[in-house]
Chain A
Amino acid sequence: MSSSTTETGSVDVLMPQMGTSVFEGTVVAWLKQVGDEISAEETICEVSTDKIDTECPSPAAGTLVEIFVNEGETVEVGTVMARIASGDAAAEPPAVAAPGEQAAAAPAPATAAPASAPSTGTTPNGDGRRYSPLVKRIAAEHGIDLSGLDGSGRGGRVTKKDVLAAVENGPPKQPLLHSDSPYRPDPPAAQPAPSQAPGRASLGESLGGVAEPLTRIRQSIGGAMLDSQRTAATCHTIVECDMSRVEARRRELGLTALPLVARATIETLREFPQLNATLDGTTITRFERVHLGIAVSLGEEGLMVPVIHDAHELSAEGLGARIKELAKRARAKELGADDVRGASFTITNPGQFGALLATPVINQPQVGILDLEAVVKRPVVLSGPDGEDLIAIRPMVNLILGWDHRAMDGVYAASFLSALRAKLEAL
């Protein structure tokens, strides 16, 4: 628990432990100010670690009486960030806690708000609406934000039909798995001060632009991408792959193509261990186990790369289920620090958006990234039974490997892709 009760009926808010490898966190923003009433589990502040951003719930109901860590400040896990006078203590006359001198300062908010009445207006749903068990279940299964739906039931209630209609029309609201460049969740590189060049500012104004700071996640992605481009000798190799068998198999299993390609990639990585590796300066570490990163788009917000640990132990169906679950949690901002840590290879899959080619950036310190682009029906030349040439219509895809020339050479990358293609075409 991120709290400890003190003798005076107040509760400390501590920097929470957000994963085994996390030792410190930064307060991004305080959502409550000194003097505010807060109920238990209500979000008191937003906290960021080098891996993940999260909301910090209040450990108790009461009044926020003191803040010790300013926004932007980084402190160790377990540090007292703020203090809450719990319900009972807040209701006491201020004289008990602070006889004499401080009576005018701190306790004022506590006496101003009688017995937590204002906080009872909050509802668990946040938007003040109630949903039937079925509607909640369907929304959870499809990642639908109910607060955005108009209800056609009595009193504007969101009915089963409403939520099913939202599922039907879902795709725009439901971001697809995608990345063109995976997010490496490292601390952002030191940010240069916003440019004050007068020319730019005036141009912005004349076009009706509004200057605003990049979000934290964009800053993180940007830092990681620049770091990769500075560090790695990134090259790209492409093979074309006939996806007829994958398409047939995925329909059979009720999966998308991604888990099948992931399964084949894992098998191929085990034959090409130089790609299932990390490179740190002059030290390369090749892994036997495969921790597979999957790029997940969060829409305009950015993207994350949750990791399927020990992915080699999973079947295609198992990978499909894990990918779905991680993507859902990524979008719900429920990933823990351990969920985005330790990938040995990454797959990115922006094919749904129709692009045929891209040049993915390697997720440091890994040495390879596989990009699966759009599957498109194309005429291809095949060999007939007697060796004659035939033209056939086949679903084709470009398999693009971003690889680090410091760790291997082009022959290795091409051999990997050819082996992968052979597996996919013989699935």
Chain B
Amino acid sequence: MATLTYLEAISDGLREMLRDDERVFVMGEDVGAFGGAFKVTAGMVEEFGPERVRDTPIAESGIVGTAVGAAVAGLRPVCEMQFADFVACGFDQIVNVAGKMHYRLGLAVPIVVRLPSGGGFGGGPFHSQNPESWFMQAPGLKVVAPATPEDAKGALIAAIQDPNPVIYLEHKNLYRRIKGEVPEGIYETPWKARVAREGSDLTVVAYGQMVHTALAAAEQIDASIEVVDLRSLVPLDEEAILASVAKTSKALVLDEANQTCAAGAQVAALIADRGFEDLDGPVRRLATPDVPIPFSPPLEAAVLPGVEQVKEACLELLDY
């Protein structure tokens, strides 16, 4: 097993699928000769040619719309949004065209839209967002957000092989920071949550970068903290969440997204609804306040949930 960065694992998964299935192709802004803004597709145009690694105009609606047509015609497009923030321009094609195609016409739309998301590096309001919940509310889409290199590769492969449109969130701040062992060849990560750390006193539910924040906080707390990595937001692994809460009786739900109607809000509602009798404390949420992400690093650090805030929230809940 090779040790890869999160970014290398995504590239690896993409390359495996391009090699394995000739229906798979990549499209996006500067994904070809330039290798992508973050170099996820570096070297791919050389190996697979410009037909399968296609540079596009700066037009997200066109990218997704083209992908939907190609998917209906039998191909397996993987679209790259240069930054997740830009997906707003392709929103209509995703939620109204791709998401509803099967419901309206019975046609499968096996596209993957890769969204390099998240903040923590001074990217500012147009390059730091976590727009997953925009898509969680649109029927017909799957929304996944891996946290580890192994899952990043496996989830991308599973997304490409899934017959539904899949919004694939890859956290930019994990790209080169997080390394891990990644199996070789093709494997699929299931749309199920994973217990990233076992514990008995408190459950922290997180996904993406926040899994690592939670794990770092848990290390520093003198209590048995369980960290549940959701991996998939739609479908949401409700049973895994409830099982963990049944064990620990306390839950902190962590989001890097703006707090209102975020993925964590859905998780908190689920626990309050179906886990009520297992609770020994309030369901607590920690998320980014409803403000744009600031450029200024100190201000950005102040709005994004960090290890200290997570620790504080955990300690308060443990003490309850």
Tell me the A residues contacting B by CB distance below 8 Å: 132-135, 137, 153-154, 157, 159-160
Contacts and interface: CB of A to CB of B under 8 A. Distances in A.
A213 B40 CA distance: 88
5 contacts: A134-B279, A135-B280, A137-B277, A153-B320, A154-B319
Q: What's the dominant secondary structure at chain A's contact region?
A: helix
A133 B249 CA distance: 10
Interface in B263-287: 276-281
B280 A132 contact: yes
Contact of B249 (A134, A154, A157): A134
Contacts of B278: 133-134
A129 to B, nearest CB: 14
B319 A160 contact: no
A219 B213 CA distance: 67
B277 A160 contact: no
A154 B320 contact: yes
Q: What's the dominant secondary structure at chain B's contact region?
A: loop
B72 to A, nearest CB: 49
Contacts, number: 24
A6 to B, nearest CB: 42
A389 B4 CA distance: 74
A134 B320 contact: no
B319 A134 contact: no
A58 to B, nearest CB: 30
A40 to B, nearest CB: 26
A166 to B, nearest CB: 14
Contacts of B280: 132, 134-135, 159-160
B227 to A, nearest CB: 20
Contacts of A160: 249, 280
Contacts of A159: 280, 320
Nearest to B281: A132
Given A133-B278, A153-B319, A159-B320, 7 more contacts: A132-B249, A132-B281, A133-B279, A134-B249, A134-B278, A135-B280, A153-B320
Candidate in B276, B277, B279, B280 with the most chain A CB atoms within 10 angstroms: B280
Nearest to A132: B280
B279 A157 contact: no
Contacts of B249: 132, 134, 160
A153 B276 CA distance: 19
A135 B249 CA distance: 10
A285 to B, nearest CB: 47
A133 B276 contact: yes
A134 B320 CA distance: 14
A373 B281 CA distance: 44
Nearest to B245: A134
Interface in B53-106: none
A133 B251 CA distance: 14
A185 B122 CA distance: 79
A114 B49 CA distance: 88
A133 B280 CA distance: 7
B208 to A, nearest CB: 29
Contacts of A133: 276-279
A296 B295 CA distance: 71
Contacts of B281: 132
Nearest to B319: A154
Interface string B284-320: 0000000000000000000000000000000000011
A132 B279 CA distance: 7
Contacts of A132: 249, 279-281
A328 B87 CA distance: 60
A135 B277 CA distance: 8
Nearest to A160: B280
Contacts of A137: 277
A349 to B, nearest CB: 32
A137 B249 CA distance: 12
